Amino acid sequence: MLVDLHDLSLSPAARRCAIALGVVSALLATTGRAAAQTDYYNTDRGRPVQIEDAYPTERYAFELKLAPVRLERARGGAYSWEVEPEIAYGILPRTHVEVGVPIAYADAGGERRSGLAGINLSVLHNLNVETRTLPALGIRADLRAPVGNLAPEHTYGSFTGLATRTFPALRVHLNGQYTLGPAPSSIASPSTAGGAATALDGNAAELSRWLAGIAVDRTLPLRSVLFTGEVYARQPIVSSQDVEYIIGTGVRYQWSTLLAVDAGIGRRLTGENRAWYVTFGTAYVFGMASLMPGGAR
């Protein structure tokens, strides 16, 4: 039921205070949801494509990435898949921290193995907001720890430069990455079971010494949908392997106020393992009042 403040026995000053309090309360109630409702607009690495935008998770917001899955089919019919639950938190202005726990499965030459493929820690910082003359720029630092039976045998750190430019009809994203760390001591022959055997050697086959690519996306705001496509090149961590060129496309959709879903498909065009892959993931964004300034203690 709507109540007209003019019908109440309130002074003009009291009515103004009541209106102001109502506006503030509405804003506070919708702040967390407003950020969540636009989660489909923010492209993350691997959701649904590798190339991401230069923006982090909003400050004080949690983004729980619920079991994003990547399934790959190599030549010869060998399959491998990885699921990596992640959680990101907007810890500082334009900065989030993230923890991921990849779990991998590989089938090569009749041998099947599965297990933890490391622990991923990362920090993403947005350097500036996009202006008329300058794109949004960001930097991401990642650390992969050798934890688990399918983890790489060494610790690897990587740095990624990010850029996002918005045009009337679309957005363009550029990523460039370099990884520090020694090459694995051994890599299984890619001829075995169509190349999937490399995933059995500490999951090192998926590491890149360097990576560079571009992605383009277009949104349908009224439908809360984003379409994206990418092309990128990567040098495997083993320098003797050829540079790979990969293409992919995908879609993100705001399923509900707090939940976004995504799906993608891609292909390795060159290299020793020209596999197809598909991805699927969900993300749940929420906030905790106790972590916000002035929140409940």
159-168: burial string, b at 16+ Cβ within 10 Å, e else: ebbbbbeeee
Domain spans, the chain? 11-288
Burial of 9 (0-12, 13-18, 19+ CB in 10 A): exposed
The closest alpha carbon to 259, from 20, 38, 26, belongs to 38
Domain 11-288 in CATH 2.40.50.140? The answer is no
- Find tokens 């989030």 and name the residue: 96
Burial of 282 (0-12, 13-18, 19+ CB in 10 A): middle
* The predicted structure's pLDDT at residue 108: 62
Q: Specify the 3-state DSSP secondary structure of 10.
A: coil
What distance in Å separates the CA atoms of residue 277 and residue 164, rounded to the nearest whole number? 26
Read off the DSSP letter of residue 18. H
Collect the ranges in the chain with pLDDT lower than 70.
1-36, 108-110, 185-205, 295-297
In the numeric block, which tokens belong to residue 2?
């709507």
Strands (E), 74-194: 79-83, 86-92, 95-100, 103-108, 111-116, 119-126, 136-145, 156-166, 171-180
Task: List C-alpha distances in Å: 64 to 57, 143, 157, 169.
Answer: 11, 19, 23, 30
pLDDT tens readout for residues 54-66: 999 999 999 999 8
In the numeric block, which tokens belong to residue 205?
């086959």
What is the CB neighbour count within 10 angstroms for residue 69? 14
What distance in Å separates the CA atoms of residue 161 and residue 99, rounded to the nearest whole number? 19
Q: In sequence order, what are the beta bridge partners of 96?
A: 124
* The predicted structure's pLDDT at residue 107: 76
Q: How many helices (H) and strands (E) does the chain have?
A: 1, 15
* The predicted structure's pLDDT at residue 292: 75
265: enclosing H helix or E strand: strand 259-268
* The predicted structure's pLDDT at residue 29: 39
CA 245 to chain centre: 20
What distance in Å separates the CA atoms of residue 110 and residue 121, rounded to the nearest whole number? 33
Name the residue type at position 16. Answer: R
Angle at 202 between CA 196 and CA 207, to 5 degrees: 75
Q: Specify the 3-state DSSP secondary structure of 22.
A: helix
What Rg, from alpha-carbon coordinates, does the chain have? Answer: 23
